[in-house]
Chains A and B, each alone.
Chain A
Amino acid sequence: GAVVSQHPSRVICKSGTSVKIECRSLDFQATTMFWYRQFPKQSLMLMATSNEGSKATYEQGVEKDKFLINHASLTLSTLTVTSAHPEDSSFYICSARNRELGRSYNSPLHFGNGTRLTVT
């Protein structure tokens, strides 16, 4: 089945540093990828929609200058958390849709296994 690979799975960084998270679709092309954040015991919150070759669309309340998203190819999107602070510690998850399968209402999204970010 379709696989989305997310790297790293865990990262610990110091406050003020930047962290890059990669999301790759391994066996399909994804024109659209989505980035979510999940705090403990809460549901997933959509942060932004990443479109290949264009600027990401951010959800209300998400700082685009803090969470930099790049979607340079049909198989790779990256999320960079800039100047990370302890409150940015969270579980970050990406997802992608196989563009060959048609519209999203009738095809599944494939999710990565998430990145656990801890900012000390």
Chain B
Amino acid sequence: DAKTTQPNSMESNEEEPVHLPCNHSTISGTDYIHWYRQLPSQGPEYVIHGLTSNVNNRMASLAIAEDRKSSTLILHRATLRDAAVYYCILRAQGGSEKLVFGKGTKLTVNP
């Protein structure tokens, strides 16, 4: 799977929007962009995924650049419970079933 690059950490204030960036300049045309997050002492949790178009669900929005070389996970109103490590992962169509985690972005939400 192609590599992704994320900032090590970000901070936000409660009830403000948070934009978590992810660079994937070597993405191929069949790579899906997945986001997971891991709260402290828990297993990871699926957040959202997309291919080309922007995606929205009850947890977040995913904005994908037109050239697909970057994407942004948007939390519209951060809460203290959103403090977690957020992982951006590419999954290739027809590729391995394995999910390989990078270092992710540790999000701190200030009250």
Cβ A111 vs Cβ B45 within 8 A: yes
Q: Assess whether B46 is in contact with A114, with CB atoms less than 8 Å apart.
A: no
Chain B stretch 4-58: residues in CB contact (< 8 A) with chain A: 30-32, 34, 36, 38, 41-46, 49
Within 8 A of B (CB), among A1-36: 4, 6, 32, 34, 36
B20: shortest Cβ distance to chain A, in Å?
16
Is the pair A103, B93 in contact by a Cβ cutoff of 8 Å? Answer: yes
Contact with B along A64-99 (1 / 0, CB 8 A): 000000000000000000000000000101110100
- The complex places the Cα of A4 from the Cα of B45 at a distance, in Å, of 11
Among A43, A95, A103, A114, point to the contact of B102 (Cβ < 8 A).
A43
Q: Is the interface of A mostly helix, strand, loop or mixed?
A: strand
Contact present for A95 and B97 (CB under 8 Å): no
A34 touches B41 (CB 8 A): no
Known interface pairs A46-B99, A46-B100; A109-B42 also in contact (CB < 8 Å): no
Most buried by A among B45, B49, B85, B98: B98
Interface CB pairs A-B, < 8 A, 25: A4-B43, A34-B97, A43-B85, A43-B103, A44-B38, A44-B44, A45-B101, A46-B98, A46-B99, A46-B101, A49-B97, A49-B98, A95-B43, A95-B44, A104-B91, A104-B99, A105-B32, A105-B92, A106-B49, A108-B34, A108-B49, A111-B45, A113-B43, A114-B42, A114-B43
Given A43-B103, A95-B99, 8 extra CB contacts under 8 A: A45-B101, A46-B99, A97-B97, A103-B93, A105-B95, A106-B49, A110-B46, A116-B41
